[in-house]
Amino acid sequence: MRYVVYADVMLLYDFIINTAVLIIASKLMRIYINLKRLILWAFITSGLSTAVYIKFLDNIFLPLFYALIYLFMTIMYFKITSVCEALKKTFAVIVSMPVVFGIINIFKGGESSSLTHTLISLTIGLFILSIVQRTISHKLSGKYQSIILIHSGKKYKVTGYLDTGNSLTDPFVNKPVMIADNRIINKITGNTVSNLLNAYSSTGYMDYEAFKHLTDITLHPIPYSTINSSCEFMPVLIIDSMSIVEERKKYTNIALGISRYKLKNDYQILLNEKLIIN
């Protein structure tokens, strides 16, 4: 028996599958999703898998070829540099697959036995996904992190604290806000605005024009609520980039809020909970 394979349909189908797998795996690994890169590697992998399927349709090693293609996609998409990292991210991709295929098969329908197996596969996949996500989130939450801030070509090494208590988002740039105290701002500005920062700490008022005049850094205020539900405004500046050393993660155009109050001595930046969720 011979089968008719429509390459364009298979390419589109594989592309949708691969895109969904990469999105789930990226969320699981808390890696920022670069949409252009995701689409590029989903398309490249789809082209490879379609070509391999057509070329080696009756070959017993077809599953092995598929496995190698997905391993290649994982390594290239996540920019893997070590064996341990490769294993961890490949596992995330593998866990994502039954979830995607389970959802697709539910909409496709089919015999009751097939639907039963689909539901079991989907349930197990979602369960594993949830357990792994919770484990990773618990591991990172409340953990001290070595942070490198880069602004105007200069590096600043600080200690950050990752806590779910900070969920503040800058509505103007749609970025999660990292909160720093005067120690970090004085480092970045070379202590040129220490008087302005002291006045802000005592009164809650920031002279934005004077700050820009002294440092060439533009601040903008964002509203936030304190524990007692009173609404205040926090000055925010945009940092070129921030790297979390332990997690090998880099974020660009970071919103850095200035706290009126000094943070604890053992950390200088309160990281945002979205670093766990995303």
Selected residue with higher pLDDT from 133 and 199: 199
List Cβ<8 Å contacts ≥24 apart for 203-209: 204/232, 204/233, 204/260, 206/235, 206/258, 208/235
CATH number for 144-277: choose from 2.30.29, 1.10.1740, 2.40.10, 2.40.70. 2.40.70
Which pLDDT belongs to residue 196?
A: 92
pLDDT at site 8 = 73
**Residue-averaged pLDDT of the chain:** 75
Q: At 32, is the pLDDT very low, low, confident or very high (cuts 50, 70, 90)?
A: low
Contacts of 264 (CB under 8 A, 6+ apart): 161
Distance spanning both ends of the chain, measured CA to CA? 47
Mean pLDDT for 150-158 is: 87
Average of pLDDT values for 236-264? Answer: 85
Q: Is the pLDDT of residue 27 over 60?
A: yes
Q: What angle do CA 4, 5, 10 make, to 5 degrees?
A: 155
